[in-house]
């Protein structure tokens, strides 16, 4: 083995070992292909895997990392990565749900799981104690929740919990089983524009954005009055673009409003709604769910399939998922794994593949040896014993050294190394240097 010093902090060794490689990018750059199967490993889960329902209306991840699925008929499913645990309706209010139509889930800031049901009010579950608490509508109590059909849940930035219903407006939880109701007003700008509440998000500490079946509302939490915005002002009914189903404020400040007639980019400063269309001008269809992932890409699940839009590209692109029929929900967990549900085909788990970077340069005469340095850059020695460095932040190849064996007569005659590798040895500083 030849030992040569080529840099102050390490020694370069050239050994005879065969090596053929794909270079994994140290900074996670994307692969050349942009297809879904190149980016993700896709697994499909059905009833045979313990998932008793594919009719799922929400997904959350709790503080322990478990994935929870709210279903339309079978209660709530909790997945730990191997097994599914089912939480169903029970006559015992502490031990189970109030109703099995439990499609709406929310994780509050204390780690509790709220379950909105379609007929049994709302349930609060404590993972710490394993106990449930129920909140039901009481027609004789104005402080009870306004309806037993709960469609949306939200924990705002000031700590208030809000519950949107199917046809009885909005409820703010006051604690101790009491709620404050906010409903459609008879006069313009007083109360909500419609009593069906699809989604709720923060605007600031004093106001909320509320998605209703008839327009987008900006609700003042102090006065409980609202300003109304309509994607289609000419339509005076709770249909089409005016049925606002989901809201998303992206990290770049863009505000997306999902409707029956596709997504819009909303400009609050002037109340303008800009339709988000495909490159050829086609609508995406009714939006059932949308998210922003960890890379800033916005994903839309619609009746016409799966679409996405990146921050760097104003164009919405159709993603060839292969299971467009019945898509309902998309969710990204803490590991950047995406979950997509289909009422027809079950649950899909999209696990990110490790990003692969192929360095294609005529300078890298095969075979090559590689090694990462302490900065995450890649040192490469080619068959001519020339040393290069791939700078991951620049995505460029730099020459570090000409052939380290150019002074050896035998090498000069042969010209190549049969099977090179490179490794680094880090030396401790001498007492004189410390």
Structural domain total, the chain: 2
Three-state DSSP string of the chain: CEEEEEECCEEEEECCCCCCCCEECCCCCCCCCCCHHHHEEEEEECHHHCCCCCCEEEEEECCCCCEEEEECCCCEEEECCCCEEEECECCCCCCCECCCCCCEEEECCCCCEEEECECCCEEEEECCCCEEEEECCCCCCCCCCCCCEEEEEEECCCCCEEEEECCCCEEEEEECCEEEEECECCCCCEEECCCCEEEEEECCCCEEEEEECCEEEEEECCCCEEEEECCCCCCCCCCHHHCEEEEEECCCCCEEEEECCEEEEEECCCCEEEECCECCCCCCCCEEEEEECCCCCEEEEECCEEEEECCCCCCEEEECCCCCCCEEEEEECCCCCEEEEECCCEEEEEEECCCEECCCCCCCCCCCEEEECCCCCEEEECCCCCEEEEECCCCEEEEEECCCCCCCHHHHHHCCCCCCCEEEEECCCCCCCC
Q: Are 7 and 145 found together in one domain? A: no
Q: Are 305 and 414 found together in one domain? A: no
Q: Are 318 and 407 found together in one domain? A: no
Q: Are 224 and 314 found together in one domain? A: yes
Across the chain, which has 434 residues, the per-10-residue mean pLDDT values are 35 30 31 61 94 96 97 97 96 97 97 98 97 98 98 97 97 97 77 96 97 97 95 94 97 96 97 94 94 95 92 80 90 97 95 75 77 83 86 84 71 54 57 50
Last residue of a domain, one of 356, 381, 407: 356
Q: Is residue 290 part of a domain?
A: yes
Q: Are 266 and 289 found together in one domain? A: yes
Q: Is the pTM of this model over 0.85?
A: no
Q: What is the pLDDT of residue 427?
A: 52
Q: Are 53 and 106 found together in one domain? A: yes
Domain that holds residue 381: 2-28+361-426
Last residue of a domain, one of 328, 356, 384: 356
Q: What is the pLDDT of residue 407?
A: 66
Q: Is residue 45 part of a domain?
A: yes
Q: Are 290 and 184 found together in one domain? A: yes
Q: Are 160 and 304 found together in one domain? A: yes
Q: What is the pLDDT of residue 106?
A: 98
Q: Are 263 and 284 found together in one domain? A: yes
Q: Are 100 and 182 found together in one domain? A: yes
Q: What is the pLDDT of residue 19?
A: 30
Q: What is the CATH number of the domain that holds 223?
A: 2.130.10.10
Q: Are 232 and 218 found together in one domain? A: yes
């Amino acid at each position: 083995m030849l030992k040569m010093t080529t840099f102050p902090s390490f020694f370069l060794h050239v050994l005879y070992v065969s090596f053929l490689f794909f270079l994994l990018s140290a900074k996670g750059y994307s692969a050349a292909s942009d297809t879904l199967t190149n980016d993700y490993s896709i697994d499909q889960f059905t009833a045979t895997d313990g998932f008793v329902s594919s009719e799922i209306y929400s997904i959350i991840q709790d503080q322990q990392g478990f994935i929870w699925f709210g279903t339309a008929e079978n209660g709530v499913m909790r997945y730990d990565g191997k097994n599914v645990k089912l939480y169903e309706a029970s006559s015992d209010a502490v031990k189970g749900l109030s109703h099995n139509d439990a499609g709406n889930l929310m994780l509050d800031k204390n780690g509790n799981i709220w379950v909105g049901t379609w007929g049994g009010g709302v349930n609060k579950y404590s993972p710490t104690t394993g106990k449930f608490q129920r909140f039901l509508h009481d027609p004789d109590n104005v402080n009870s929740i306004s309806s037993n059909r709960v469609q949306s849940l939200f924990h705002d930035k000031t700590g208030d919990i809000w519950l949107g219903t199917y046809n009885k407006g909005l409820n703010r939880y006051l604690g101790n089983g009491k709620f404050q109701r906010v409903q459609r007003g008879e006069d313009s700008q007083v109360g909500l524009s419609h009593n069906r509440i699809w989604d709720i998000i923060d605007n600031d500490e004093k106001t909320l954005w509320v998605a209703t079946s008839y327009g987008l509302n900006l609700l003042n939490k102090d006065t409980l009055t609202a300003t109304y915005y309509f994607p289609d002002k000419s339509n005076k009914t709770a249909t089409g673009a005016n049925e606002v189903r989901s809201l998303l404020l992206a990290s770049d400040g863009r505000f997306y409003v999902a409707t029956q007639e596709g997504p819009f980019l909303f400009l609050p400063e002037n109340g303008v709604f800009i339709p988000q269309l495909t490159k050829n001008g086609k609508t995406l269809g009714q939006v059932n769910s949308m998210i922003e992932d960890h890379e800033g890409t916005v994903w839309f699940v619609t009746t016409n399939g799966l679409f996405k839009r990146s921050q760097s590209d104003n164009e919405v692109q159709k993603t060839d998922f292969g299971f467009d029929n019945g898509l309902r929900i998309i969710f990204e967990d803490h590991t950047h794994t995406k979950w997509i549900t289909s009422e027809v085909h079950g649950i899909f788990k999209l696990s990110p593949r490790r990003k692969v970077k192929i360095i294609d340069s005529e300078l890298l005469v095969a075979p090559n040896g590689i090694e990462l340095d302490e900065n995450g850059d890649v040192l490469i020695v080619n068959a001519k014993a020339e040393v290069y460095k791939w700078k991951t932040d620049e995505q460029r190849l730099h020459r570090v050294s000409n052939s380290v064996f150019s002074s050896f007569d035998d090498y000069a005659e042969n010209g190549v190394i049969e099977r090179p590798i490179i490794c680094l040895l880090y030396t401790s500083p001498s007492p004189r240097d410390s």
